[in-house]
Amino acid sequence: MRVDIPRAFSTPKILFAAAASLALIASVVAPAVAQTTAQSSGWQGGPGAILDNTYQGFIDQPSNGATVPGSGSFVVGGWFVDTTAQGWAGADAMQVWFGTMDGGGKMLAQGIAGQYRPDVGKALGNPFYAYSGFSASVSGGSVPSGAQTLYVYMHTGGKGWWFKTVSVNGGGGGVNPTPPPSGGGAPVVTITAPTENQNVRASGSSTFTIAGTAKDPTTGAAGIDSVDVWINGERNSGSGTDLGQATLNGDGTWSLSFSPTKFPSTHTNIYVYAHSKTTGQTTEVLRGFNIQG
Q: How confident is the model at residue 173 (pLDDT cuts 50, 70, 90)?
A: very low
Beta pairing, strands 73-82 & 112-115? unpaired
The answer to whether residues 216 and 277 belong to one domain is yes
Residue 186 has pLDDT above 80, yes or no: no
CATH classification of the domain holding 198: 2.60.40.10
225 and 132 fall within a common domain: no
Residue 232 CB-density burial (10 A; 0-12 exposed, 13-18 middle, 19+ buried): middle
257-287, pLDDT tens digit by residue? 999 999 999 888 888 999 999 888 888 777 8
The predicted-structure confidence for 125-168, as pLDDT tens digits, reads as follows 999 999 999 999 998 889 988 899 999 999 997 898 999 999 99
**Domain-located, residue 212:** yes
Same domain, 128 and 59: yes
- Beta strands 199-201 and 282-292 are parallel
Amino acid symbol at 99? G
Same domain, 45 and 165: yes
8 Å CB contact between 267 and 115? yes
Q: What is the pLDDT of residue 234?
A: 78
**Which of 170, 200, 219 is the endpoint of a domain?**
170
| pLDDT 10s digits, 5-51 | 322 333 333 333 444 444 444 444 554 333 333 466 689 999 889 99
| Consecutive H or E run containing 271 | strand 267-276
> Is pLDDT larger for residue 44 or for residue 70?
44
If 0-12 CB within 10 Å is exposed, 13-18 middle and 19+ buried, where does residue 177 land? middle
pTM: 0.53
Range of the domain at 49: 19-27+36-170
Look at residue 178 and tell me if it is in a domain. no
Counted domains in the chain: 2
Assess contact for 193 and 209: CB atoms under 8 A. Answer: yes
